[in-house]
Structure 1
Amino acid sequence: MQRLADKTVVVTGAARGIGQAIAEVAAREGAAVALFDLDAVALAETAGELAATGARVFALPVDVTDEGAVADGMSQVVRAFGRIDVLVNNAGRNVYADPVAMTSAEWDGVFDVDLKAAFLCAKHVLAGMKERGGGSIVNIASLHAKLTCAGMYPYAAAKSGLVGLTRSLALEVAPFGVRVNAVSPGYIRTALVDEYLAGHADPDAEREVLRAQPLGRIGTPHEVAETVCFLASDAASYVTGADWAVDGGLGVRFA
């Protein structure tokens, strides 16, 4: 449908999983896509696959927790494509930490990627968006921002903060025509979910997860990407400050 035609979309954590799927759908919808990721090898592979489809692609290894690197990366995207219309803050990480044994450095490592990076990336695209009177930011949060389980400390806290940032930032930039939304995936077939299930003490953990899913299955990265790219597009022009669940109905189930 070319909903993102003539737009430039920056995706962080774009080398694999949900980020890679977002880049693929954005390119399909006509966008020029800029891919940020720390994994230079996987990033080059993803960029090469997209370029082979005829997409306009710019890939750059960027540490999104480093403000200097973020500022330089965004400037390079503007030089390559002229402007930035959409930012998707997808980069994220988790640790499985004990709240007593966890160190301050480990805590900061999670919050730097899951929350601070979204602030830094938004900071360095908003001047251009405000000047042009439009733009869209989509933050990839998680079902864990509202409902969580033991063993996800402090991931749930970081993702809750990201939803709060979404709401607050949406109000700050609404007068300039810039929209900010969040997407909260549930169980999606990504490396993070596979790692969680593989490391679970219960060997039947995946069977139990599937039993709890109203739609009876785990979602795919592209199902998240479709929602993200809709929110990024002008088709969602009256949506801001929202947190959209893409969780197969898990978040509304009474357990």
Structure 2
Amino acid sequence: MAGRLEGAHVLVTGGARGIGAAIVEKALVEGARVSIVDRDEAGHDLLVALDAGERALFCTGDVRRASDIGLAVETATRKYGPVSGLVNNAGRNVYADPVTMTEDEWEDVFAVDLKSAWLVARAILPGMKAAKKGAIVNIASLHADLTYPGMFPYAAAKSGLVGLTRSLALEVGKDGVRVNALSPGYVETALVAEFFARADASLRDKVLSVHPMGRIALPAEVANCVVFLLSDEASFVTGANWRVDGGLGARFAG
């Protein structure tokens, strides 16, 4: 199926590692030119490992800052033209207590997991609207629907991201721009490894036991769905939240 993003310019936030890196790799395979925005300098190493050459660009930037986003989008657009596909993937885990959490800690969670998606969309939407075409995929989480004790207020931020997706889809649909969310469950990434490391050693086995497929996802499996939503194959899909959770959210607890 290679070639579904031929000629596209895809920008991926948080693309240096994990799900973001898998999305970058898959988008390149599908023919896109790819720009990464991330604070993690590992993005440089990723592009070398992928032998991306002139087909990919790494921009160091903090997605919490409109100035960083503006500079990254300007740099990427100068090299590859307007962004035609955006993946708001940057995110962070949080393990806060609702009573002892500070206002600054709260603001930082929502700046990364929710506000940044609007900031980046705001920067690239003029180009999409002018072209009368574009696709945005916001990486939310199964936590938008179902959550877990000890991860306050992650579910609130991801629920907000799904709400933002719906609202934005209605605002820009007339301009030929599609906006969808994708909600992974457990994925073999550093963030999930961090979650398991904080818990009892038996938690991973318990988690696997409640997955209908008996395993958790690989980053590439999430990336496959992202590329579909970016591509013309999903030309009539907008305002949706796609679960990629191996059926975890479909079962009763127990």
TM-score (norm 2): 0.98
* Unpaired segments ≥5 residues, structure 1: none
Query: Helix, strand or coil for the counterpart of 2:58?
Result: strand
Which amino acid in the other structure matches residue 27 of structure 2? A
Which amino acid in the other structure matches residue 254 of structure 1? F
State whether residues 82 and 124 of structure 2, in contact with CA within 8 Å, keep that contact through their aligned partners in structure 1.
no
Query: Helix, strand or coil for the counterpart of 1:136?
Result: strand
Distance 1:55 1:187 in 2: 33
Distance 1:124 1:49 in 2: 29
Distance 1:61 1:48 in 2: 16
State the partner residue of 2:21: 20
After TM superposition, the structure 1 = structure 2 runs for residues 201-220 of structure 1, keeping only pairs within 5 Å, are: 202-220=200-218
Matched, 1:45 2:84: no
Distance 1:53 1:10 in 2: 14
Query: Helix, strand or coil for the counterpart of 2:111?
Result: helix
Distance 1:53 1:77 in 2: 15
Distance 2:161 2:103 in 1: 19
State the partner residue of 1:36: 37
Which amino acid in the other structure matches residue 249 of structure 1? G
Query: Helix, strand or coil for the counterpart of 1:175?
Result: helix
State whether residues 12 and 24 of structure 2, in contact with CA within 8 Å, keep that contact through their aligned partners in structure 1.
yes
State whether residues 35 and 47 of structure 1, in contact with CA within 8 Å, keep that contact through their aligned partners in structure 2.
no
Q: Which runs of 4+ in 1 moved over 2 A?
A: none
Q: CA RMSD in A?
A: 0.9
State the partner residue of 1:222: 220
Distance 1:136 1:229 in 2: 10
State whether residues 130 and 176 of structure 1, in contact with CA within 8 Å, keep that contact through their aligned partners in structure 2.
yes
Aligned counterpart in structure 1 of residue 231 of structure 2, from 212, 230, 233: 233
TM-superposed deviation, 1:55 = 6.4
After TM superposition, the structure 1 = structure 2 runs for residues 142-181 of structure 1, keeping only pairs within 5 Å, are: 142-181=141-180
State the partner residue of 2:120: 121
Q: How many residues align?
A: 252
Query: Helix, strand or coil for the counterpart of 1:96?
Result: coil
State whether residues 12 and 36 of structure 2, in contact with CA within 8 Å, keep that contact through their aligned partners in structure 1.
yes
Please list the CA deviations of residues 132-161 of structure 1 after superposition, one character each: whole Å capped at 9, or x if unmatched.
Answer: 100000000000000001011011110000
TM-superposed deviation, 1:47 = 1.7
Please list the CA deviations of residues 216-253 of structure 1 after superposition, one character each: whole Å capped at 9, or x if unmatched.
Answer: 00111000000001000011000000000000000111
Call closer, same or farther: CA 1:163–1:218 in 2, change over 3 Å: same
Call closer, same or farther: CA 1:227–1:55 in 2, change over 3 Å: farther
Please list the CA deviations of residues 170-228 of structure 1 after superposition, one character each: whole Å capped at 9, or x if unmatched.
Answer: 0000000000000000000011111111111x220000000000000011100000000
State the partner residue of 1:3: 4
Query: Helix, strand or coil for the counterpart of 1:153?
Result: coil
Which amino acid in the other structure matches residue 37 of structure 1? D
TM-superposed deviation, 1:53 = 5.0
State whether residues 196 and 203 of structure 2, in contact with CA within 8 Å, keep that contact through their aligned partners in structure 1.
yes
TM-score (norm 1): 0.97
State whether residues 163 and 243 of structure 1, in contact with CA within 8 Å, keep that contact through their aligned partners in structure 2.
yes
Distance 1:214 1:231 in 2: 24
Matched, 1:246 2:244: yes
Which amino acid in the other structure matches residue 29 of structure 2? R
Query: Helix, strand or coil for the counterpart of 2:82?
Result: coil
State whether residues 86 and 137 of structure 1, in contact with CA within 8 Å, keep that contact through their aligned partners in structure 2.
yes
